[in-house]
Chain A
Amino acid sequence: MEIFALTRDTKRLNLLTTSVSVLVAFLLLMTHQYLSGHKQMQEELQTQAAIVGANSVAALVFDDGKAARESLGTILLNPRILGGAFYLADGSLFIVANDTDRIFPDRIDPRAQNTPPVGKTELQRFTGLLRTEISQDGNRIGSLVLHVSHRQLYLNLLEYAVGLAAIGLVALLLARRFTAGLRNKMALTEGQLEQMALYDRITGLPNRRFFEHELKKAMIRIKREKENAALFLIDVDDFKKVNDLCGHHAGDEVLGMIADRLKKSVRDDDIIARIGGDEFAAILFKVGDPRNVERVAQKMIQAMTEPFPTQPIPSHVGLSIGVTMMPNDSEDPATLIRWSDMAMYAAKAQGKNRAQFFSEEINRKIRNDLQIEAGLRQAIKDPGSGLYVAYQPQVCATTREIVGVEALIRWRQDDGKSVSPGEFIPVAEKTGLIIEIGAWLVGRICRDLAHMRQSGIELPKIAINVSPKEMTRGTAIVGNACLTLTGFGESVERFQFEITENALIDENASDVLKAFHDAGFTLAIDDFGTGYSSLGYLKRFRVSTLKIDQQFVQSLPGDNEDATIVSAVIQMAQALGITVVAEGVETEAQAAFLTEHGCDILQGYHVGRPMPVHELVTFIHGQHTT
Chain B
Amino acid sequence: MVSFRSSLSRKACAIALLALYLAGAPATASAQPRASEPALKAAIIVNMLMFVDWPQYPGLISNQLRICYLDSSPVAEALNEANGKSIRNKTVQVQKKSIDTLRSCNAIYLSSADQPLLPEVLALVRDQPVLLVSDSPAYLQQGTMLNLDVAAGRIVFDFDLRAARQAKLQVSSKALRLARRIIE
Cβ of B13 within 8 Å of any chain A Cβ, yes or no, is: yes
Query: Chain A residues near B175 (CB, 8 Å)?
Result: 58, 62
Decide if A137 touches B178 in the complex (CB within 8 Å): no
Query: Chain A residues near B115 (CB, 8 Å)?
Result: none
Cβ of B12 within 8 Å of any chain A Cβ, yes or no, is: yes
A61 to chain B minimum Cβ distance, whole angstroms, is 5
- Residues 304-320 of chain A: 1 if any B CB is under 8 Å from the residue's CB, otherwise 0? 00000000000000000
Decide if B15 touches A139 in the complex (CB within 8 Å): no
- Total cross-chain contacts (CB, 8 A): 70
Decide if B50 touches A139 in the complex (CB within 8 Å): yes
Decide if A65 touches B5 in the complex (CB within 8 Å): yes
Cβ of B104 within 8 Å of any chain A Cβ, yes or no, is: no
Report the Cα distance A58→B159, complex, angstroms: 15
B7 to chain A minimum Cβ distance, whole angstroms, is 9
Chain B residue with Cβ nearest A55:
B174
- Taking CB atoms and an 8 Å cut-off, the chain A residues in 54-111 that contact chain B are 55, 57-67, 88-90, 92, 94-95
Decide if A94 touches B12 in the complex (CB within 8 Å): yes
Decide if A89 touches B19 in the complex (CB within 8 Å): yes
Decide if A66 touches B3 in the complex (CB within 8 Å): yes
Query: Chain B residues near A138 (CB, 8 Å)?
Result: 86, 88-89
For chain B, what secondary structure do more than half of its interface residues adopt (helix, strand, loop), or is it mixed?
A: helix
Query: Chain A residues near B6 (CB, 8 Å)?
Result: 63, 65-66, 95
Query: Chain A residues near B91 (CB, 8 Å)?
Result: none
Decide if A90 touches B22 in the complex (CB within 8 Å): yes
Decide if A58 touches B51 in the complex (CB within 8 Å): yes
Report the Cα distance A254→B142, complex, angstroms: 135
Cβ of B44 within 8 Å of any chain A Cβ, yes or no, is: yes
Decide if A137 touches B12 in the complex (CB within 8 Å): no
Query: Chain B residues near A62 (CB, 8 Å)?
Result: 16, 44, 47, 175, 178
Q: Which of A63, A64, A137 has the most CB of B within 10 A?
A: A63
Decide if A67 touches B5 in the complex (CB within 8 Å): no
Report the Cα distance A136→B86, complex, angstroms: 12
B17 to chain A minimum Cβ distance, whole angstroms, is 10
Decide if A139 touches B23 in the complex (CB within 8 Å): yes
Report the Cα distance A95→B8, complex, angstroms: 10
Partner of B174, one of A58, A89, A140: A58
Cβ of B4 within 8 Å of any chain A Cβ, yes or no, is: yes
Partner of A65, one of B9, B20, B88, B177: B9
Partner of B23, one of A63, A67, A89: A89
Query: Chain B residues near A63 (CB, 8 Å)?
Result: 6, 9, 12-13, 16
Query: Chain A residues near B9 (CB, 8 Å)?
Result: 63, 65
A4 to chain B minimum Cβ distance, whole angstroms, is 81
Report the Cα distance A90→B178, complex, angstroms: 22
Decide if B23 touches A66 in the complex (CB within 8 Å): no
- Residues 21-62 of chain B: 1 if any A CB is under 8 Å from the residue's CB, otherwise 0? 011000000000000000000001001001100000000000
Query: Chain A residues near B8 (CB, 8 Å)?
Result: 65
Q: Which of B19, B22, B175 has the most CB of A within 10 A?
A: B19
Partner of A88, one of B16, B44, B177: B16
Decide if A88 touches B15 in the complex (CB within 8 Å): yes
Known contacts A58-B172, A61-B50, A64-B178: does B22 contact A137 (CB below 8 Å)?
no
Partner of B88, one of A59, A88, A94, A136: A136
- Residues 205-224 of chain A: 1 if any B CB is under 8 Å from the residue's CB, otherwise 0? 00000000000000000000
Cβ of B125 within 8 Å of any chain A Cβ, yes or no, is: no
Decide if B16 touches A64 in the complex (CB within 8 Å): no
Report the Cα distance A388→B88, complex, angstroms: 130
Chain B residue with Cβ nearest A137:
B88
Query: Chain A residues near B174 (CB, 8 Å)?
Result: 55, 57-58
B129 to chain A minimum Cβ distance, whole angstroms, is 18
Query: Chain B residues near A139 (CB, 8 Å)?
Result: 20, 23, 50, 86-88
Query: Chain B residues near A88 (CB, 8 Å)?
Result: 12, 15-16, 19
Query: Chain A residues near B12 (CB, 8 Å)?
Result: 63, 65, 88, 94
Decide if A89 touches B22 in the complex (CB within 8 Å): yes
- Taking CB atoms and an 8 Å cut-off, the chain A residues in 22-73 that contact chain B are 55, 57-67
Query: Chain A residues near B178 (CB, 8 Å)?
Result: 58-59, 62, 64, 67
B72 to chain A minimum Cβ distance, whole angstroms, is 26
Query: Chain A residues near B88 (CB, 8 Å)?
Result: 136-139
- Contacts A58-B172, A139-B20 known; 17 new A-B pairs at CB < 8 A: A58-B177, A62-B44, A62-B178, A63-B12, A63-B16, A64-B3, A64-B178, A65-B4, A65-B5, A65-B8, A67-B177, A88-B16, A88-B19, A89-B23, A90-B18, A94-B12, A138-B86
Residues of B within 8 A of A (CB): 3-6, 8-9, 12-13, 15-16, 18-20, 22-23, 44, 47, 50-51, 86-89, 172, 174-175, 177-178
Please list 29 pairs of residues, one from A and one from B, whose beta carbons are closer than 8 Å in the complex, sorted by A's number: A55-B174, A58-B51, A58-B174, A58-B177, A62-B16, A62-B44, A63-B6, A63-B9, A64-B3, A64-B178, A65-B5, A65-B6, A65-B12, A66-B3, A88-B16, A89-B16, A89-B22, A89-B23, A90-B22, A92-B15, A94-B12, A136-B88, A137-B50, A137-B88, A138-B86, A138-B88, A139-B50, A139-B86, A139-B87
Residues of A within 8 A of B (CB): 55, 57-67, 88-90, 92, 94-95, 136-140
3 nearest CB pairs, A to B: A65-B6, A89-B19, A137-B88
